[in-house]
């Protein structure tokens, strides 16, 4: 299927590894000129991006730096992929509302919500002019508020709501805005020895490899396995293309059947 993306331009945040890198690679394979952003630039990102920008996207300054650099390199932005998010597992406290201090809440909202708002606002004039597309990577945690470190699910719920607002406001003018909400994905967040998966395994007294092997059953994943970054990237790339021209304000779940609601 020809997605008609050849010659388009895109900004991908959180692009140095995992889902973000897979999206950058998929878009580049379709002929898209990609500017990738991350705090730490990797050789893998430099290989597929026309420019790689080091920026802290939890700050308004970092967002402005990225968009200015992208506009200078690309001349305009057709596609914005807001993938940056998550959080440094080492600094996050597991447990309930009273277990996490306000600094954790602020950190998770700055990274998962306010940084996306700042980046999107900076890129909006070019995206509106080009009748482009925004795809924001949220999470099924936006629908599961009691799961994960306190503050994370709440930030993702606000992020999904923000995308819906954008769609309602700018959709009539031709800008398409959608979200993709993955479940567990096989990135370093879950598979890495310093990631959230390892931290949860330790908290439950289980070896990391055994925790990962049991995870699909424990999480009720109907497919019996977790998703891979390339699968999320394929969905995002489709939504960025003209083939998805009348998909507006939608939230696409890719979780192997973890969510049981209709």
As annotated, the active-site residues are 152
Task: Check if the beta carbon of residue 140 is closer than 8 Å to that of residue 160.
Answer: no
Task: Check if the beta carbon of residue 12 is closer than 8 Å to that of residue 20.
Answer: yes
SS3 135: strand
Task: Check if the beta carbon of residue 135 is closer than 8 Å to that of residue 178.
Answer: yes
Q: Rounded CA gap, 232 and 181, in Å? A: 9
Among candidate residues 83, 62, 74, the one with its CA nearest the CA of residue 10? 74
Q: Rounded CA gap, 235 and 247, in Å? A: 13
Q: Rounded CA gap, 74 and 36, in Å? A: 12
Angle at 22 between CA 127 and CA 19, to 5 degrees: 85
- Which 8-state DSSP code applies to residue 40? S
Q: Rounded CA gap, 143 and 182, in Å? A: 11
């Amino acid at each position: 299927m020809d997605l008609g993306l050849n010659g388009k331009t895109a900004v991908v945040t959180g692009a140095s590894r995992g889902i973000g890198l897979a999206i950058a690679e998929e878009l580049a394979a379709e002929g898209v000129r990609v500017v990738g952003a991350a705090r730490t630039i990797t050789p893998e990102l430099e290989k597929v991006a026309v420019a790689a920008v080091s920026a802290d996207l939890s700050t308004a300054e970092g967002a402005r730096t990225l968009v200015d650099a992208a506009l200078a390199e690309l001349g305009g932005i057709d596609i914005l992929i807001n993938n940056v998010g998550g959080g440094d597992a080492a600094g996050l406290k597991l447990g309930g509302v009273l277990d996490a201090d306000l600094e954790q809440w602020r950190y998770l909202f700055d990274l998962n919500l306010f940084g996306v708002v700042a980046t999107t606002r900076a890129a909006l004039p070019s995206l509106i002019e080009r009748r482009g597309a925004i795809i924001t990577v949220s999470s099924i945690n936006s629908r599961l508020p009691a799961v994960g470190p306190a503050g994370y699910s709440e930030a993702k719920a606000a992020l999904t709501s923000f995308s819906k607002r954008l769609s309602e406001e700018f959709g009539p003018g031709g800008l398409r805005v959608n979200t993709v909400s993955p479940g567990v994905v096989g990135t370093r967040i879950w598979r890495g020895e310093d990631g959230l998966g390892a931290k949860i395994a330790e908290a439950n007294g289980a070896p990391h490899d055994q925790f990962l092997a049991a995870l699909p059953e424990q999480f009720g994943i109907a497919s019996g396995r977790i998703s891979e970054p390339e699968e999320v990237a394929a969905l995002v790339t489709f939504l960025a293309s003209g083939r998805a021209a009348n998909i507006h304000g939608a939230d696409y779940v890719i979780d192997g059947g973890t969510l049981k609601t209709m």
